[in-house]
Amino acid sequence: KQEVTQIPAALSVPEGENLVLNCSFTDSAIYNLQWFRQDPGKGLTSLLLIQSSQREQTSGRLNASLDKSSGRSTLYIAASQPGDSATYLCARGSQGNLIFGKGTKLSVKP
């Protein structure tokens, strides 16, 4: 069974801190790995997509890495802000669908 695991389930940090969110998956034969942000009651906002041939992607204060051999991806958020508070989801792309982790709920305290 293909599974995606995100640890921790919840994280609270003070504003300004750098942080890392973890995502692990059981099948290294992935097409891509995508990170999303979800605000309460809302849809998913795509943050970064890493193709299987890539090792990392960067967008602003966000950096995502992919290590297929170990089945791991990390999302690095630099200089966190209260507006970063949300649930962060990673999803591994297979041929026709995305397989999601349960997410990490991030709270950034002012």
Binding interface with another protein (CB under 8 A): 31-32, 34, 36, 41-46, 49, 89, 91, 93, 95-103
Nearer to another protein, 14 or 43 (CB): 43
Nearer to another protein, 47 or 108 (CB): 47
**Residues facing residue 41 across a β-bridge:** none
What is the distance between the alpha carbons of residues 84 and 81, in angstroms, rounded to a whole number? 5
Nearer to another protein, 18 or 59 (CB): 59
Question: From the CB of 59, what's the least distance to another protein, in Å?
Answer: 12
Strand boundaries in the chain, DSSP class E: 4-7, 10-14, 19-25, 32-38, 44-51, 56-59, 62-67, 72-77, 86-93, 98-100, 104-109
What is the distance between the alpha carbons of residues 105 and 84, in angstroms, rounded to a whole number? 10
Question: From the CB of 88, what's the least distance to another protein, in Å?
Answer: 13
Nearer to another protein, 80 or 86 (CB): 86
Question: From the CB of 40, what's the least distance to another protein, in Å?
Answer: 11
The answer to whether 78 and 108 have CB atoms below 8 angstroms apart is no
